[in-house]
Structure 1
């Protein structure tokens, strides 16, 4: 928020967050009218059905998953069952009670095959569908044209025999999983990036999330929630002068996809296409697009065309080497900082940390740098950020938590349960009599949370124009049901197993993120290369994972170096870095396909071959 405030006060609308979007916020916006990622109450779920969500790896909060599935590890009656659907036998799949291996781009077909069983055997929550859901039944529009609803589409097009052929999952397993999803309530379906990073990613995500609607497990214990932002006091009002209004009036450089946000690669393209000298300053904060982008050359051209490139990276990464000015941020242990809980966590939470070691004498935290820059710019920039330093800003924002009369500073399990029970009964008692005591408790305990979830207010999860959860959102249908796109919603064509070029490129590239390398920002810390992997003895080199028969056919074996070859490019195999520091990123092999609805890159459409190095 500090960056946004600074840019608005200066008069720029060009803020782009490269936070590895997974498209689930677009699914929620289309179906619920809420543009934020759904949260999951894993602690109270009886069955968790994960579609490509790496819960124990590079998910939004692996800790949340470990706590949820470890809490009742010795209690068979209370322990949640975990079924994982994935294209590879990942670390998450290895920890699941059951793994369903599927073909790439077939997650949606499997989800709708499960929906077919639920509908055919009448195992759905009919009351929930009637009272809260739109688009399930067929309907007739104002012109008298009849449209198929979700139920008719699923029953017509997703019979289990056809879904089995498309996914590779036997019919009996599809039926068994569907029956378990209905019987072991509360059951929740979790949608991961493997589903949504595809040409039809938004539609596939909607297919997965529709399972939660069928069993009515939304805003219920053990189900899907939409967490509120912590009730912090707002920042000072933005003050605009004429120059700032003119700057904001020009609008952002990047025009997002219909259901997406501006992307970093879109910003690079816009900068590269702008007139020479049109973009004077580019500021990067914990962003290393030359390493993380599928299009590093686009970014290289963009960086070369900007008059002044400033990076706040604390590491001399690829992008920092191309910058004109490096203002290295302090490390987390050296600065004041705050944060909210991962988006998958259902409770509003605010975390705060103060420095635990003294920073170097010449260092400055990026937040303090922005506040100092605003002071030196003067005018509206100063008026929009009237804070002496980050500590002062955080203390001012914490007053909103003290005034809201709910929630608590972090506590142990007993304190949290007691607070939940009190609020559930309409009671709240302050643990600290004044703000100074409250602020001290925040610092000592590390943050604030509200452990009570209101399951009675439908406004928490139904904010569409119809006031219902939309299975057939009109805005999505307008973009999908057009000439050239005859398939419509929930119509998924089986994908070819081979590249159209034939056997030259017989393997589909399937990149995935490592838990400690989900961003390109801290990869220079040497100890991170020693993170646990699927290969316990391999820590310092990249690798590829293939079927043993595929490896034998390519004359490969464990420990043998290989090239990954695409129709256009040759790069090193996937992994963080080679021992000499050279980058090995499979994202740079991607064929450029995107989801036209979200603008996100497709990770599953590129075909390659392997060659012994």
Structure 2
């Protein structure tokens, strides 16, 4: 059986646009500065640093003229980004000089949200914060303080956690990127870590919904592997993108496989069916290193089907074709291509895990790496190790802290394998309580009134919390409801470390240093936390004895110095040389003393260790058996206890039907590279290069198939209401054959020029994966109403 004619035309029509789009630029590669004879500039300086605008943490070089930052380029010594830089990083200059950045602390004078503020000194703002925190701690209520923090991996997150532990609060609320791929790895491998992908050394990359060139953990990691201008064509891996829309990532792939929403895992298991049926899988690897492949008997003597039997019974190729819209021929060719490649790797994307059965779907997609043996080997899935930093001293705990930490974090629900949407669950907990369980809330790079799927819940929560502090350097939607704003320094003004995301399988510790002199009236948040700790005194001060955040970084870098491995960022020759030395079991220190070692890290931008020991069995599995488990016992037993409502490798697909006859179009939100960080309003250059369509700028849009637009009487550029059962927002129509006729695709993160939000996540219904709590991004149906 084959996909319908409509689906075939949808796929072919979208693919036809790739010829015009593959040359579009998503990354800028550093080039030597031109020498112009006769030109006499001012005092020029170039410094290495790290971009902090998104989780990729790419290396940058700032070019200063007379102390002003005039341009940002990529740092060629950074091992992951290698001189490349995405538009967000290039546009960072606009962030630094944005006229709306806050240049002094603010204290609220009027009612919450009305915008009445007075400027204050740093000392006054700190004193106000310390007084409130000290009062709560003295009263024995440290658990009533909470921190909501955006993505801040590294020492800043460690300092925040240290502060809360010493203070006595269990309420560290993550408001960042969560895809639960770490849960998939923990269940199958016994390694609770997001997977790393050795894209550089793979010869085939099969991506299931991972936006590698857009809003993935590190788009530059993908660019280096696939689009580095210095690479020879024969060195680049073959890239196939399985996606529900013809995305920018799909446009850059050698092949795009269009698929129905929520059926990525069905296709993966259909591919597995062909590999098992035709004996194309890596039978030796499975026999030596995998459990759960064959049928088994549990401890109670009950017989259960293993992975092989479940796949062969439920995923015959013709049936998979009907469910996914992918032809039998394509399914078969993908299976054979995986089997015949030397170093294939399957990438699990968030489109898979943000579905009603996302955890089960994630296990299904990752099982292809098990069948091909693409684990703990070059070109496959690797579990990297964190940089060997000197740990912070253990927090000193007094009786108040011990009592406070014994409390359950406020409002955070705990599904069996996850923490749900922590920030929203926290806000719901505050709202539901008769008396507010939180008396002081700290916001650090968290703006839930703009990013949350339920901003009305957050607004009600903020109204109930007596004291709110924001460290936002801009007056964002949530900062407007604070009592005190103590703005942080901007990324190019502060010291901070920047470890590479887990998707890059090697240890990288990027270092961000000030490129320009910061305003004297603004304080580094890290320095503010240390100052608050010292003012609180006692065991809180003992737990954070550093006098500045820079000194925290220097102290932690001593762990790198003493590690006996790795090197400061270096060129390609240096990287290869040190990797080859470590592969042979030896290493040479570049410095005998710490001070020149630290200076080299500052000058070059950081430290890295590119050696990965793929002979270490601990890199394959940390389970009790030492084997990769296709039928994880924790999950298997829980599903049995549920009474068989769901089963491993059976219930992996999302919903297929519309909510009502009126709401018949499926909404598919997605993130773009230029919008995902939420800084578009601060970097206006990005408004003119937001996505796949070079002429669609400034206004939020929704993508509609030509056939759908004709049926609804819509033309290109029409303004419409996008309406779900929850909310609505305004957007312009972009007619695009890369969107399937039954879907409407909507980018996340682009506001209207006047600041009006247009967040498709706020239209989502409450469908979520009960195992992880992750909200489904593909289960909401809408209608379009012309304005």
Q: TM-score range by the shorter chain?
A: over 0.9
After TM superposition, the structure 1 = structure 2 runs for residues 214-233 of structure 1, keeping only pairs within 5 Å, are: 214-233=371-390
1:272 CA displacement:
1.6
From 654, 658, 666, the equivalent of 1:499 is: 658
Distance 1:436 1:29, change over 3 A: same
SS across alignment from 2:772:
coil
Distance 1:520 1:70, change over 3 A: closer
- Asked if 1:577 is matched to 2:751, the reply is yes
Residue by residue over 1:520-541, the C-alpha shift from the partner in whole angstroms, topping out at 9 and shown as x without a partner, is 4664443332334111012200
From 564, 570, 573, the equivalent of 1:414 is: 573
- Asked if 1:591 is matched to 2:765, the reply is yes
1:485 CA displacement:
4.4
Matches of 1:494 and 1:38, distance apart in 2: 22
Contact 1:109 1:492 in 2 (8 A): no
1:414 CA displacement:
0.8
1:313 CA displacement:
1.0
From 672, 676, 683, the equivalent of 1:514 is: 672
Farther-moved stretch of structure 1 (559-568 vs 493-502): 493-502
Matched residue, 2:127: none
After TM superposition, the structure 1 = structure 2 runs for residues 475-554 of structure 1, keeping only pairs within 5 Å, are: 475-483=634-642, 485-492=644-651, 497-502=656-661, 504-520=662-678, 523-554=681-712
SS across alignment from 1:545:
strand
Matches of 1:494 and 1:205, distance apart in 2: 11
Contact 1:498 1:507 in 2 (8 A): no
Contact 2:265 2:653 in 1 (8 A): no
1:30 CA displacement:
1.1
Matched residue, 1:435: 594
SS across alignment from 1:220:
coil
1:487 CA displacement:
3.3
Matched residue, 2:205: 48
Distance 1:523 1:277, change over 3 A: same
1:396 CA displacement:
0.2
Residue by residue over 1:212-237, the C-alpha shift from the partner in whole angstroms, topping out at 9 and shown as x without a partner, is 00011101000001111100000022
SS across alignment from 2:280:
coil
- Asked if 1:424 is matched to 2:583, the reply is yes
Contact 2:358 2:652 in 1 (8 A): no
- Asked if 1:100 is matched to 2:257, the reply is yes
Matches of 1:173 and 1:605, distance apart in 2: 26
Matches of 1:494 and 1:302, distance apart in 2: 35
SS across alignment from 2:240:
strand
SS across alignment from 1:16:
strand
Contact 2:364 2:652 in 1 (8 A): no
Matched residue, 2:243: 86
Residue by residue over 1:291-313, the C-alpha shift from the partner in whole angstroms, topping out at 9 and shown as x without a partner, is 11111111111111111111111
Matched residue, 1:140: 297
Aligned pairs, how many?
A: 612
From 374, 382, 386, the equivalent of 2:533 is: 374
Residue by residue over 1:384-439, the C-alpha shift from the partner in whole angstroms, topping out at 9 and shown as x without a partner, is 10000011110000000000100000001110001100000011001112111100
1:474 CA displacement:
1.1
Contact 2:659 2:781 in 1 (8 A): no
Q: Extract unaligned runs of 5+ from structure 2.
A: 1-157, 732-745
Contact 1:73 1:79 in 2 (8 A): no
Matches of 1:532 and 1:346, distance apart in 2: 29
Matched residue, 1:454: 613
1:465 CA displacement:
2.7
SS across alignment from 2:785:
strand
SS across alignment from 2:777:
coil
Matched residue, 2:9: none
SS across alignment from 1:316:
coil
Matches of 1:494 and 1:306, distance apart in 2: 40
SS across alignment from 2:416:
coil
1:118 CA displacement:
0.8
Matches of 1:84 and 1:289, distance apart in 2: 32
- Asked if 1:190 is matched to 2:364, the reply is no
SS across alignment from 1:518:
coil
Distance 1:467 1:420, change over 3 A: same
Matches of 1:494 and 1:266, distance apart in 2: 25
- Asked if 1:391 is matched to 2:550, the reply is yes
SS across alignment from 1:463:
coil
Distance 1:385 1:483, change over 3 A: closer
- Asked if 1:293 is matched to 2:467, the reply is no
SS across alignment from 1:122:
coil
- Asked if 1:606 is matched to 2:763, the reply is no
Contact 1:351 1:447 in 2 (8 A): yes
SS across alignment from 1:492:
coil
| TM-score scaled by length of structure 2 | 0.76
Residue by residue over 1:26-47, the C-alpha shift from the partner in whole angstroms, topping out at 9 and shown as x without a partner, is 1111111122110000000000
Matches of 1:465 and 1:264, distance apart in 2: 34
Matches of 1:500 and 1:545, distance apart in 2: 20
1:359 CA displacement:
0.8
Residue by residue over 1:258-292, the C-alpha shift from the partner in whole angstroms, topping out at 9 and shown as x without a partner, is 11136111111112223424311111110111111
Contact 1:47 1:186 in 2 (8 A): yes
Matches of 1:485 and 1:505, distance apart in 2: 31
Matched residue, 2:625: 466
SS across alignment from 2:691:
coil
SS across alignment from 2:163:
helix
Matches of 2:502 and 2:677, distance apart in 1: 16
RMSD over aligned CA atoms reads 1.5
Residue by residue over 1:347-375, the C-alpha shift from the partner in whole angstroms, topping out at 9 and shown as x without a partner, is 01111121111111110011011000000
Matches of 1:111 and 1:91, distance apart in 2: 22
Distance 1:546 1:497, change over 3 A: farther
Matched residue, 1:310: 469
Matches of 1:487 and 1:242, distance apart in 2: 45
Which structure shows the higher strand fraction?
A: 2
Matches of 1:485 and 1:519, distance apart in 2: 40
